[in-house]
Amino acid sequence: MTTFEQAPIFQCEFEDDRTGLSKETIKRALADNLFYIQGKYPGTATLNDYYMALAYTVRDRMLQRWFKTTEAYTKKGVKVVSYLSAEFLLGPHLSNNLINLGIYDLVRQTVEETGLDFVQLREIEEEPGLGNGGLGRLAACYMDSLSTLEIPAIGYGIRYEFGIFDQEIRDGWQVEITDKWLHLGNPWEIPRLEETIEVKFGGRTEGYYDEKCRYRVRWIPDKVVKGVPYDTPILGYRVNTANTLRLWKAEAPESFEFKAFNDGNYYGAVNKKVVSENITKVLYPNDDLVQGKELRLEQQYFFVSCSLQDMIRLHLQKGETIETFHQSFAVQLNDTHPSIGVAELMRLLVDEYQLEWDQAWQITQNTFGYTNHTLLPEALEKWPLKLFSNLLPRHLQIIYEINQRFLGQVRAKYPDDSDRLARLSLIDESGEKYVRMAHLASVGSHAINGVAALHTELLKQDVLRDFYEFWPEKFTNKTNGVTPRRWIVVSNPLLANLITRKIGTDWISHLEDLKQLEAFVEDAEFRHEWRQTKQDIKTYLANYIKDNHGIEVNPASLFDVQVKRLHEYKRQHLNVLHIITLYKRLKDNPNLEITPRTFIFGGKAAPGYFIAKLIIKLINSVGDVINNDPDMRDRLKVVFLPDYNVRFGQRVYPAADLSEQISTAGKEASGTGNMKFAMNGALTIGTLDGANIEIREEVGAENFFLFGLTTEQVYDLKSRGYNPWDYYNSNPQLKEVIDLISSGFFSHGDTNLFRPLVDSLLYHDPYLLFADYQSYIDCQDQVNQAYRDQEHWTKMSILNAARMGKFSSDRAIKEYCQEIWNAVPVKIELAEYIQARA
Ligand code: CRA
Ligand code: PLP
């Protein structure tokens, strides 16, 4: 008799409906999943049922890889990277998984042979919007690269029930709609109910003596919440590695408080459950801004505690002892959101595993690395002491102890420097007292990095200067990168095919190979194909805009695109000032020869960020006037496309001619959108900010439109006392544009509507739009000139794409592995019959 374990499926010895790759097997699998998983037959199945059946069919084909990967990591000596992030902005799974499995065309054809519309199914997938923007999307790109490079890794985060809100535009204003991404089910995740973990909150601590008469502390919480892990496989490109993304959902330990229930208080009984489950209900929709809400700290502690307890469990299951934890896991803190992990690991090691402080501290510092993603003061997390101690009383004690020891070291190096002590302290005591999370992360990590060369330099000079002076060896730069799988192969198949026809497919996992395209820059035939490809993609987007938003745009015009979160520092309103300048020129001189342009905007504003919402209204109002003015004759169009998300990005990056990266120098830590545009052959107009600087270095100054003040000039101007009125009064063009907005010209005569925005510019202009205005306009004039020479423009476009090798997330991850994590690839072996087909 065969035992259960010997069943063929576990031996992986035969091709079945769940692994097979013949068209017949795939068709059978689709029908099977529709019937047995969705419980539908074709007579009753909805489009979503078919999508689910297809998704299960694809997921099934990933499971052997996932299982083998997970199994391989249980071996002693394998070091696993643990990426702790409050956000993972994954985007749709289906196409990406098909590409990484290498079966996109096969499955597409097979689906179509069954009479279903593949594209329709692909497009109805709900994307998991579990992030705000750059930081969350970076985490998703890094997960892709970790798997592609065969690095053992787990991503840990939060399974928000409601992700980033969906955006609608009504009467030009942003309206937020709840993102119910789970409402029809999520076929890509598997809940692991038996691996649930308990997390404590609140209460008090008490001291006691252990059996060796050592003083110890125990935490008596007043609330316990269960963390249930939901796992999603993240498959690498054409490799067998499928790492896990483990997202935690909060649940109450018991559904009912039985006493209250028995007393007849039914609603009171379920209340506790509801309150606990609130922790993972909703993503805070702020990018580059903190909201010091208690629930946010609960979210952070909840997912970090679940994750660290999970890692310790996995480590001990290998047969290791707690003392070697840092050899099993390299934990990266994606900004300060998970930085409470430093105190939590100390608590686990000292209180629960009874290690001595010094040993626990060594393990902790060896375990963590900290990535800073922002210099903006409003984004630096700090928690009021009171709130912190109510929620995490034991952690506050531990933080005090860390601080005392750390400040002791500082005092030894810098005696009599009390200012320095106050600046470095983990506790801000300048007014109301706060815990400074960036300080906790910096002290508790062995490595600290910024996300672009300039950003890392500014960290060293400014925000973390005292830490840099104290521990210069901890600091390195890791310029961001993006995955070419999703951002070229999935999103831009036309360009991917053209490149592959010229240089083969190696570039997909070795992006530096795109350099070979430089050899074809002088080839007129290739340039023609390149131009035609861009044209086809633009036409595709133009049709999409017409069909979905009813606006006609001219695909032969220059597509000038700014898509990113709405923020004053990103200066979407500077772009608007340029648009109004062009509009004025055409009104004053209707026969002026200009390069026709379509301005495309997209991006969400944080719901409480009034000025950002007003900028959206301004873009739409200016668009209304321009798009309906017959004098414009298709020469200018302005469209604000609602609901910028990953799917939207995939559609729009490939279609851009010009990428707007126009933040005030020193404000954008890196940017990653800038990389996606350039990879897809757009030219950049940008300031010397974030990764723009490195992009310009790579593509060549002659292939980049540079304008604006440098960071140094910005600091200098501000320190001399910046006065926006000087620019307004001395630049008639700028004055005209501002006056036109103030006059109510774009607001049906309402002179109040845009006043807060105009006043903010005239009286403060914190992001120096006026100072950069003329330089921006002049640079845009150069863009117009350059676009008229299509042959030359095409050469620049090819060179931009060809020189983007550095900005692959594979490069970034290799640097993290070598310089921070000390992690190496582990090859995953599959059963022979699967391997042979792969
Ligand atoms: N808002 C930066 O502002 C950067 C990403 C990823 C940001 C971007 O310039 O590209 O991170 N910062 O590194 C951030 O989220 C908390 O700080 C971002 O996405
Ligand atoms: N949001 C989405 C959906 C993205 O794809 C990106 C690109 O990386 C971003 C936000 C960040 O854009 P940026 O770097 O331009 O701020």
CB environment 814-834: b (16+ within 10 A), e (fewer): ebbbeebbebeebebebeeeb
830 or 82, higher pLDDT: 82
Q: Is the pLDDT of residue 16 over 90?
A: no
Q: What average pLDDT does range 792-811 have in this prediction?
A: 99
Backbone CA torsion sign across 727, 729, 735, 736: negative
Q: Is the pLDDT of residue 261 over 70?
A: no
Nearest ligand (C-alpha, residue 438): 1
Task: Concatenate the DSSP letters of all residues of 247-280 into one string.
Answer: EEEEE-SSSS-HHHHHTT-HHHHHHHHHHHHGGG
Q: What average pLDDT does range 32-53 have in this prediction?
A: 97
Q: Is the pLDDT of residue 265 over 80?
A: no
Provide the mean pLDDT of the chain: 96
Atom of ligand 1 nearest to the CA of 133: 19
Give residue 565 CA to ligand 2 midpoint distance, Å.
7
Atom of ligand 2 nearest to the CA of 648: 3
Question: Ligand 1, atom 6: nearest CA belongs to which residue?
Answer: 135
The catalytically annotated residue of 57, 367, 483, 672 is 672
The catalytically annotated residue of 565, 597, 613, 651 is 565
Q: What is the pLDDT of residue 259?
A: 67
Residues above pLDDT 70, as percent of the chain:
97
Q: What is the pLDDT of residue 192?
A: 98
Picking from 127-136, 263-272, 530-539, 756-765, which range would have the lowest pLDDT averaged per residue? 263-272
User: Which residue in 51, 59, 98 sits closest to 493, CA to CA?
Assistant: 98
Q: What is the pLDDT of residue 17?
A: 82
**pLDDT tens for residues 56-71?**
999 999 999 999 999 9
> How many CA atoms lie within 13 Å of 610's alpha carbon, on the beta-carbon side?
6
Say how far apart CA 505 and CA 608 lie, in whole Å: 46
Q: Is the pLDDT of residue 730 over 70?
A: yes
Q: What average pLDDT does range 578-583 have in this prediction?
A: 98
Give residue 571 CA to ligand 2 midpoint distance, Å.
15
Say how far apart CA 571 and CA 554 lie, in whole Å: 25
Give residue 293 CA to ligand 1 midpoint distance, Å.
20
Q: What is the pLDDT of residue 275?
A: 85
Picking from 184-188, 213-217, 254-258, 499-503, which range would have the lowest pLDDT averaged per residue? 254-258
Structure ipTM: 0.99
Q: What average pLDDT does range 13-26 have in this prediction?
A: 86
481 lines ligand 2 (CB under 6 A): no
Q: What is the pLDDT of residue 132?
A: 98
**pLDDT tens for residues 747-786?**
999 999 999 999 999 999 999 999 999 999 999 999 999 9
Q: What is the pLDDT of residue 429?
A: 97
Q: Is the pLDDT of residue 733 over 90?
A: yes
Say how far apart CA 328 and CA 322 lie, in whole Å: 10
Q: What average pLDDT does range 579-607 have in this prediction?
A: 97
Find where tokens 């706060």 sit. Answer: 434
375 lines ligand 1 (CB under 6 A): no
SS3 50: helix
SS3 246: strand
Q: Is the pLDDT of residue 1 over 80?
A: no
Backbone CA torsion sign across 39, 43, 49, 52: positive
> Could you tell me if 439 and 468 are in contact, meaning their C-beta atoms sit under 8 angstroms apart?
no
436 strand-pairing partners: 382
Question: Ligand 1, atom 11: nearest CA belongs to which residue?
Answer: 135
**pLDDT tens for residues 626-638?**
999 999 988 999 9
Nearest ligand (C-alpha, residue 689): 1
Chain centroid offset of residue 799 CA: 27
Distance in Å from the first CA to the final CA of the chain = 33
Find where tokens 């209707």 sit. Answer: 590
139 lines ligand 1 (CB under 6 A): no
484 lines ligand 1 (CB under 6 A): no
259 is catalytic: no
671 lines ligand 2 (CB under 6 A): yes
